[in-house]
Amino acid sequence: MKLDKVLAAVLSLADAAAVSSRQDTTNVSSTPALGYDELWLLQNEFYERFMYPNNIKEARAINSTIFSDDVQGRVSDTRNFEGRELNTEYIFGLFTPTDAVSVIGRPIGPYEILQFAANQNIASATTRVGFIFPSFKNLSLPVTIDTWISWNSERQITQYDVTFRWFGYLFETLLLSLDSDPTNATAKAVNALATSICSTHTRYCNGTNTQYDSPEDCYHFLTQEIRVGQSFELGMNTLMCRSVHEIMVRYRPDVHCSHIGKDGGGMCDDSMSYAFKVDEKYFTNSPWIPQVF
C-alpha cells in the first residue's frame, strides 16, 4: 500500500474512532475482534502520531486519546509506565525537541513496518524508524522497534510491550561519534549528560522538589557516586537512567524531579533483579493470547 493511501486510510480511521468514542457504549475493558486490516491501520496511526512534528501535538495534549485511561506500558531497558498522562509524556514528549543533552533521538522518519502479525485486538510488529540524534552531532540512524500492542473497542491502546532492538549497538555508535577512542568518548558523554541534568535541576527543581544542595553536589553525585550505566540499565541507578528522565522534568517537576535525584524516585534504582524482570507478571488489561471464537 502506498504511503498516501495509508495516510488517507489512517485519517478515515481516526474520524471513525471519534464517532465511535461518542456513540459506542460498549465496555472498553472487553476484548474486541478488530480484525487484521483495522489493526494494520491502527499500527500505522500510532507511528504517524509518533513521528516528529506530530508527536509535539500529542505531548501538548497532556493526555493523548490514543491511549486508554488505564493503559499499561513497558519498555524493555527502562521501567513500566502506568496511565494515560505518564505514557503521553514518555511515548510522545520524550521524543520531542529539547535543550537537554540526551541519547534519546527524534523520530523524523520515514518509518517502515517490516514485520506484522495481528489477531483480534492484538498486533505484533517490527518497525524501522529514521531518527536524528541532535546531542551526537546530529547523527542520523535507523532504529528498529519491536512492539506488542493491544487495543480496546474504542480503538485506544490498552497495553504495549516495546523493545528497541540492538540498542546496545546504537548506544556505542552514538558514543563513538564523539571520539574514536572509547574512553575519551565516554568521558565526554558523562560530562555533557551530567552538566545537562544539573542545569535542568537548577531550572525546574526548586522548593520541595529540590534534589541536590548545589550544582556542584549534583555533578559530583552523577559523575562520581553512581555508574554511567550499560544500555540495559536505563531503569537502574545510573547516570543514563537520570538522563532519560531529565527530559520529562519540564512537563511535571513535582513528578519527575525525584527521578533525576539521588534516590531515583522509584524509576532509577537497583531494586529490580534480572530474574524479577523476566518473571514479572505486569499486564492485566487484556490477554496477550487471542481468544478462540
**Residue 160 CB-density burial (10 A; 0-12 exposed, 13-18 middle, 19+ buried):** buried
Q: Which helix (H) or strand (E) holds 193?
A: helix 182-204
Query: Given this model, what pLDDT does residue 27 score?
Result: 40
Q: How far apart are CA 72 and CA 162, in angstroms?
A: 11
Cα–Cα nearest to 38, from 128, 120, 114, 149: 120
Query: Given this model, what pLDDT does residue 12 score?
Result: 55
Place of cell 494515560: 84
User: Is residue 164 within 8 Å of 147, Cβ to Cβ?
Assistant: no
For the four alpha carbons of 27, 29, 31 and 35, in that order, the dihedral sign comes to positive
Q: Where are the beta strands (DSSP E) in 200-252?
A: none
pLDDT in tens, 157-170: 999 999 999 999 99
pLDDT band at 291 (very low <50, low <70, confident <90, very high): confident
pLDDT in tens, 58-96: 999 989 999 999 999 999 999 999 999 999 999 999 999
All structural domains of the chain, each given as residue ranges with its CATH number in brackets, are: 3-166 (3.10.450.50), 178-275 (no CATH)
User: Is residue 108 within 8 Å of 130, Cβ to Cβ?
Assistant: yes
pLDDT band at 20 (very low <50, low <70, confident <90, very high): very low
Span 134-143, average pLDDT? 97
The pTM for the full model equals: 0.87
Q: How far apart are CA 280 and CA 155, in angstroms?
A: 27
